[in-house]
A and B are shown apart, each in its own frame.
Chain A
């Protein structure tokens, strides 16, 4: 048993439970929990409880939810979880740009089970939540030190909302100066698409710079892009390629030269902690994805944190409320700054997330954070070297250059040689117990792309296993391309259908839709 010591490959096979959809498991009358009636003393004090809910808010009929006992519900979701490859069961190097690092379980315990955290409410008087306000204040001091910027807000619930918040502050800044001619923002093709999208949402036109042969845009392209209409630049560095633009200061200076602000998308800062700061590169704003670099879970597009930071000159535009400290007590400032862009999320944002990230930083200390960056860059360049030896893999742009924390690779050569493309390999890796990898944002500039990020959490052995899988699939592609093209073979679903998600007649995303479409189908 165990992995083959020579090849490092596993004989993986995914569970397949053939479960019904939960709505089909309905047994009328069955209950998961029987809610006890309130005790006499309580009834006496507050009545039966339900009658206190206003009449017009009460359901006339019970909701049409499936009726299932607790054990069956539990079994159902355990089975479904076995048919997935989540971050805790596979080597999650696959999600390049997402920084899928290990989130220590102790943090989960502290943030969600410790009554001191789990049982507090944001509407409590601030004198009774001094603990979490202390954590907010301290974590802000950490991020100030890490970025060099002067104030932070943790309200945005994700990276894109963080960038949108920054775009809104850029807009507020120019408006407060009576400068209304600026209607454009600049980004780069290899920056995250939200840098373009949130600028557009904030009402700006978007100018995108294309990379040249080096992998990042030419300074002349930046010069051609700016004008008195430029409100700001929103860029990543290193970009998705993992290449650090060494001329970033020039880009920032060109933008400042026309009166624009510079916002640094540091969603993924894993290669930079303790090494390079937004301040020294001249940026006015930045944001960190706390669920990436600072180890809190990603939360599946749910409650994450896009921490936004600004220089002193812009702090009056930050969202409210802000946590203040007078040397003795922590307070919440709701009204201090009339020029604030206001709230971007209710209350203080995701307080559990801040606590997890705070705990993570406290475990590591300043030296530990720098070591995180060094390890993730070392891991990445080790993997880069190993993968550059795999037949069919191409290192696009500046091949001789070291990368920071991630690399966008290309199967372009393998595709030309064998007809096997990145989508095929993406299905095949599941047969070796690895979840599908992230190819690239659209459009694909690097042909047949795949983006990997072996952050500091992964050991040499983990990286070697991951590389061994890709080496094996490359070998299969050259020897027996059909094997790869017809993959996966060891997964819960053996044939992944080709239709894309924009085929409404074949895809239902809710039970109600499914029932409707089935009925329509059956009636011919």
Chain B
């Protein structure tokens, strides 16, 4: 008797631009050029790789998928029986197909949606189901800035297999990031934080079983919030809290309204403003003492310049480097694989000033000295 329902969605065109050097596959024109250059769909094969790990637990799950290249083919390749729902219009699939598939699966009671694609696909999932249904990405796209993907197709499949065996699997809010592809092809990187999806926690940094004494992310986040709240006991200091789930917890703990994607401003534990622009923030700070709380956003480890451009160079200079509170879990730091945290404020001299060994808040009374670079 299947205990759970798994949705399977493949964006067949994801990744096609990459093989032929087009740095992305979004947009009909790019896709046409990709095909002309000989690109072939690879995402269905990558999804099949992931599903192979799931197939031995197929009696535990009811599988829902979309026709043909959008999932059916991958299930067949993996030998996984699946119920095909919905239909696709025309030969080429479009973002709307992914969105519709996700919505229909959510409506049909999917407990988890496994999808293959890139950052564009993650945005489609976010648009369709938000944080209502947990999802997990099989990396297949050209751009993977979003934190909703497993490291490899196989590890995605193994995580789903674990989810089928376990009663509990921790979920975390993970970032959906994307860049402006047109600007990117012109050589300009502009990343944007679009929102968050619920993703099962992939324990790459702890033992799978018998892991006693491990601080799970939820506890680590609580510790970080408590540490920042301790700093907030100073009633005259203004706190600008940047976007991110790590920082969101701070405003939640104060029971203040917060914007996940924006900068919120607090003084003496009271809200001054939500979702401020750089100009508004500068005005609010005025001549007051202020601290700015930021966290690493996206897979690259940017603490400034990705998704929090509101915290402008002018503001950082005004509050001073010592008043920039950087928060991150140890797992997040370890996941950077030794690469530094990054700043990209748009002000090269400031980036240089901010770089070097810096104190990161990793818990309550707990810090890591980590390198910041640019």
Contact = CB atoms under 8 A, between A and B. Distances in A.
A423 B366 CA distance: 29
A210 B167 contact: no
Contacts of A207: 359, 367-369
A350 B297 CA distance: 51
B154 interface: yes
Contacts of B333: 210
Given A210-B370, A498-B166, A503-B168, A442 B205 contact: yes
A221 B370 CA distance: 7
Contacts of B331: 443
B334 A444 contact: yes
A500 B166 CA distance: 8
**Interface size range of chain A in the complex:** 35 or more
A218 interface: yes
A218 B365 contact: no
B206 A499 contact: no
A416 B204 CA distance: 13
A221 B334 contact: no
A503 to B, nearest CB: 6
Given A224-B358, A501-B211, A443 B330 contact: yes
Contact of A208 (B154, B168, B357, B368): B368
Given A442-B205, A501-B212, A506-B167, A225 B334 contact: no
A503 B167 contact: yes
Contact of A209 (B209, B356, B369): B369
Contacts of B39: none
A51 to B, nearest CB: 45
Contacts of B207: 423, 439, 442
Given A207-B359, A419-B158, A445-B334, A499 B369 contact: no
Interface string A180-196: 00000000010000001
B209 A444 contact: no
A442 B211 contact: yes
Contacts of B330: 208, 443
Given A210-B333, A444-B205, A499 B214 contact: no
A8 interface: no
B112 to A, nearest CB: 16
A221 to B, nearest CB: 5
A200 B227 CA distance: 14
A499 B167 contact: yes
A212 interface: yes
A177 B142 CA distance: 61
B352 interface: no
Given A206-B366, A210-B369, A218-B357, A498 B162 contact: yes
B372 to A, nearest CB: 11
Interface in A428-466: 439, 442-445, 447
A447 to B, nearest CB: 7
B24 to A, nearest CB: 25
A220 B357 contact: yes
A442 B167 contact: no
Nearest to A443: B205
A499 B166 contact: yes
A221 B152 CA distance: 33
B165 interface: yes
A208 B369 contact: yes
A53 interface: no
Given A498-B165, A505-B167, A206 B365 contact: yes
Interface in A204-231: 204-210, 212-213, 217-218, 220-225
B369 A447 contact: no
A496 interface: yes
Contacts of B215: 442
Contacts of A445: 205, 334
A205 B208 CA distance: 29
A346 to B, nearest CB: 26
Interface string B37-71: 00000000000000001000000000000000000
Contact of B208 (A204, A218, A225, A500): A500
A496 B209 contact: yes
> Considering residues B158, B165, B208, which has the most beta carbons from chain A within 10 angstroms of its beta carbon?
B208
Interface in A490-519: 496-503, 505-506
B338 A498 contact: no
Nearest to B49: A419
A501 B215 CA distance: 13
B38 to A, nearest CB: 27
Contacts of A506: 167
B206 A443 contact: yes
Interface string B146-184: 000000101100100010011110000000000000000
Interface in B202-257: 204-215
Contact of B206 (A204, A221, A442, A496): A442
Contacts of A505: 167
Contacts of B210: 500-501
Contacts of B212: 501
17 contacts: A200-B365, A205-B367, A207-B359, A208-B368, A209-B369, A210-B371, A221-B369, A224-B357, A225-B357, A444-B204, A444-B206, A498-B162, A500-B208, A500-B210, A500-B211, A503-B166, A503-B167
Ranked nearest first, the 3 interchain pairs of A and B with the lowest CB-CB distance are: A224-B357, A443-B205, A205-B365
Interface of A: 189, 196, 200, 204-210, 212-213, 217-218, 220-225, 416, 419, 423, 439, 442-445, 447, 496-503, 505-506
Interface of B: 53, 152, 154-155, 158, 162, 165-168, 204-215, 330-331, 333-334, 338, 356-359, 362, 365-371
Given A209-B368, A225-B357, 7 more contacts: A213-B338, A220-B356, A224-B356, A416-B152, A443-B331, A499-B167, A503-B168
